[in-house]
Structure 1
């Protein structure tokens, strides 16, 4: 395991780079978009609500909001297509948008909304963005969850769309495990394909996690047990600014590693970022293949 100290003040000058950040109107996404723009990057904030974006995003040069619903295959494809049509070359895509819904509901593509937002959307968006990723060190950054590293449970893909088996915390943890699996799978595919970006550089797939961060997601609970867990989590939580450090590093560091998790320790007193191997089901190539097949099936249904 590697550890190192890093502060956003050490971030290199981002002028000339373009970064897409999804879920940028609150929590970690807002911190990421604001910090990157302040460092000189052109930031495309992918948001579901343009009116909210106009209210909360700082009015600074280089920061713009574009509409995208990461729970919709059609929406993420349209988002990527508009970037291509506008000739935008993207240095980094930060797949940050995520939800933990309290009640079972299906998204527009007929998938439980936690999985639609946290698994299917980011995977489809990453693939759709490949033609516009470029620059000297192009990358896709998944904002994952350390929960997927701390569970040995293998998500049951057959239970995803079963309302009788839905449990909020379990669905969220399983979705983040599946998302991490797809980030590893994406990296393997990209390395096998070789240089594909407009610059000739291999696009890298990187996973970062914020630790326990004090964001709005901690309050997305309805059952008493989930509310209690949220209150306990908030007591140990890092600020969104602290939690965003790992994702900022992953999006901007000249050299980043694939197939690992980078993020803070659980203890707030530890300021270091820790680089550890991907563990659990996400490290299993058989499970990764099953999750890829799950996403492909959803895409086929959306295209039908």
Structure 2
């Protein structure tokens, strides 16, 4: 058996799941969004990947608070279904669907151009959309598909909308990372699909590390603008993020997750906390755990020199397209 084949071994998967069960945080943290009185009438929010899972729950909460909510989704049919559900459950008809494929930077640019044309303000941007377990794929723009979807797409989107957010300040950027970032590495060849091992969530781990690094550097660059940028770990959540994994892996995770993992509604709590809580006004460049506690990320995510280089590399890659 090859060394990395162990990550497909049932014993490893079961051990990982059991470890997650043992170390998981409480199903609900000390902060309850239902008890938060903050209202968002007159505010505009964008949530990527809002047609399902955590993203839909975040959008639902923001809509309940009266915000104008834009669901940034890849699938029109699934996005429309989520749109109708959110409008019905919240009574807020100021919820809208805009299509974007974060895997393609050309699509991101088209989406951003429409937002800048149609919207007068943007107060909350939640970079939620993500994939894990994709087989090796290179986009027509030359990027590894998981890196494009999880990092380069959201990176470009954030930067294209940044001036609008500055003019709307105070405003908040919330990026969903993961505790898995601690297993990630930084290799800029990864962006083009080189030096990568496509075993379950290995590529995902790298992308989540880049999310954290670039969010921290963005926070440093936009200090004193009234726009904050923070990262969150949603916890172990029952979502569709593992839909590209082998069937037997999905079965094990779904079985154990049914009893022990968070629901999408519970997994959305830390993101909602960063997006609306009054106590985080002005707080930026931080990383929050799934129970809304402030925690230190991995050492690589705290390397200031690496952050500058990573951000500049991503700027160069995305500026060409």
Which bracket does the TM-score occupy, shorter chain normalised?
0.7 to 0.9
Shift of 1:213: 0.8
Distance 1:167 1:156, change over 3 A: farther
- Provide the rounded CA distance (Å) in 2 between the counterparts of 1:105 and 1:274: 36
Shift of 1:231: 5.6
Aligned match of 1:199: none
Aligned match of 1:90: 122
- Provide the rounded CA distance (Å) in 2 between the counterparts of 1:130 and 1:86: 15
Distance 1:85 1:301, change over 3 A: closer
Aligned match of 1:291: 310
Distance 1:102 1:232, change over 3 A: farther
Distance 1:225 1:41, change over 3 A: closer
**5+ residue gaps in structure 1?**
196-201, 265-271
Q: Which of 58, 79, 90 is the aligned partner of 1:32?
A: 58
Which stretches of structure 1, 4 residues or more, deviate above 4 A after TM superposition? Answer: 223-235
Structure with greater helix percent: 2
Asked whether the equivalents of residues 144 and 209 of structure 1 are also in contact (C-alpha less than 8 Å), the reply is yes
TM-score, normalised with respect to structure 2: 0.80
Shift of 1:227: 6.6
Q: Which of 274, 277, 295 is the aligned partner of 1:253?
A: 277
- Provide the rounded CA distance (Å) in 1 between the counterparts of 2:136 and 2:162: 32
Aligned match of 2:148: 116
**5+ residue gaps in structure 2?**
1-28
Distance 1:286 1:167, change over 3 A: farther
- Provide the rounded CA distance (Å) in 1 between the counterparts of 2:117 and 2:240: 34
**After the TM superposition, which of the residue ranges 281-290 and 34-43 deviates more from structure 2?**
281-290
- Provide the rounded CA distance (Å) in 1 between the counterparts of 2:77 and 2:298: 40
- Which structure 2 residues correspond to residues 140-151 of structure 1 after superposition, within 5 A? 140-148=173-181, 150-151=182-183
The 3-state SS of whatever aligns with 2:284 is coil
Number of residue pairs the alignment of both structures matches: 282
Q: Which of 35, 41, 47 is the aligned partner of 2:73?
A: 47
- Provide the rounded CA distance (Å) in 2 between the counterparts of 1:229 and 1:156: 29
> What's the CA shift string for 1:44-73, capped at 9, x where partnerless?
110112222112322341110011111222
Matched, 1:273 2:292: yes
- Provide the rounded CA distance (Å) in 2 between the counterparts of 1:105 and 1:35: 34
**After the TM superposition, which of the residue ranges 229-238 and 209-218 deviates more from structure 2?**
229-238
> What's the CA shift string for 1:206-243, capped at 9, x where partnerless?
11221111101134312866875676566531111111
- Which structure 2 residues correspond to residues 56-205 of structure 1 after superposition, within 5 A? 56-57=82-83, 58=85, 59=87, 60-133=92-165, 134-148=167-181, 150-151=182-183, 153-160=184-191, 161-162=193-194, 165-191=197-223, 194-195=224-225, 202-205=226-229
Matched, 1:218 2:242: yes
- Provide the rounded CA distance (Å) in 1 between the counterparts of 2:196 and 2:230: 34
Asked whether the equivalents of residues 207 and 258 of structure 1 are also in contact (C-alpha less than 8 Å), the reply is no
